[in-house]
Amino acid sequence: MNVKIVLKQLLFQNSCNISKMYSTFRVIESCLKQLIMSSSKKFTIAVEGNIGSGKSTVLAYLSKSSLCDIVTEPVDSWTNLNGNNLLGMLYNNPHRWGFAFQANAQMTLAKLHAQQSKAPIKVMERSIYSTRYCFVENLYRNNILHNVEYEILNDWFQMLISNDSCYLDLIIYLRAKPETCLERIKSRNRPEEQSITIDYLKQLHERHEDWLAPQIRTSTTPVLIVDANQTKEHVYNTTSTHLLTLTTC
């Protein structure tokens, strides 16, 4: 049996039925174990979701596993580009800085995709795909990006993903209500995020749904959808428990 093909064919969805959810994670765990044992290929997972959906929290828990190499979003480089806070500039004036930020975001994330992993599983906080299908797309739909800028970013994206280093084996989608995300954003109080509105979060939620929701999904990568409206502990338990058990196999 070709485990890679089986994994690609699985349609991972969250379920209110805990036993079904547990069974789904057991399938993932089994596939991961077989992949690691039968192949020298590194396995890459992207943790995706809206701003404030809990990605950093999940990654913090997963970082406890020696099996996982955690690659965080390059926020430091976005907030200090030769002394310029490009992320803050984007939020304050998206019409002026939207194209520049997204071009930089695609480049920095592509570098992280290509970064060699020291562990069997590389877990990324977001990916070049969410940059294109969520953030670039949202700017374009709001007439912030000109048609020419949109086409340039799309061509740039297509060129970057033609490289095998940008391949993803699995996406974990932390699906959270925009209202929940806004509460968490206010709680963590990051300076660059003070201007984020509920309307903006609702738009990004729709873009994530367009990209990853099972009914209208455009992603060809297997997707595990997790209800991220729950407590941090619940989200962690439902996304990481079985990945962490791999360290004992």
**Residue-level pLDDT at 204:** 97
Does 1 score more than 60 pLDDT? Answer: no
Question: Which has more pLDDT, 107 or 187?
Answer: 107
Does 101 score more than 70 pLDDT? Answer: yes
The single residue of 48, 73, 125, 149 carrying the catalytic annotation is 125
54 is in an annotated binding site: yes
**Residue-level pLDDT at 105:** 97
117 is in an annotated binding site: no
Is 125 a residue of the active site? Answer: yes
50 is in an annotated binding site: yes
186 is in an annotated binding site: yes
Architecture of domain 3-248: 3-Layer(aba) Sandwich (3.40)
Domain ranges in the chain are 3-248
Does 17 score more than 60 pLDDT? Answer: no
Lowest mean pLDDT among 59-63, 67-71, 143-147, 213-217: 213-217
Q: Which of 237, 249, 208 is nearest to 32 (CA)?
A: 249
Helix and strand counts by DSSP (H, E) for the chain? 12, 5
* Tokens read off for 86: 């490009």
187 is in an annotated binding site: yes
**Residue-level pLDDT at 232:** 67
188 is in an annotated binding site: yes
Mean pLDDT on 143-171: 94
- How would you classify the pairing of strands 170-175 and 68-71? unpaired
Indicate whether this model's pTM tops 0.75.
Answer: yes
Instruction: Write the single-letter amino acid at 84.
Output: N
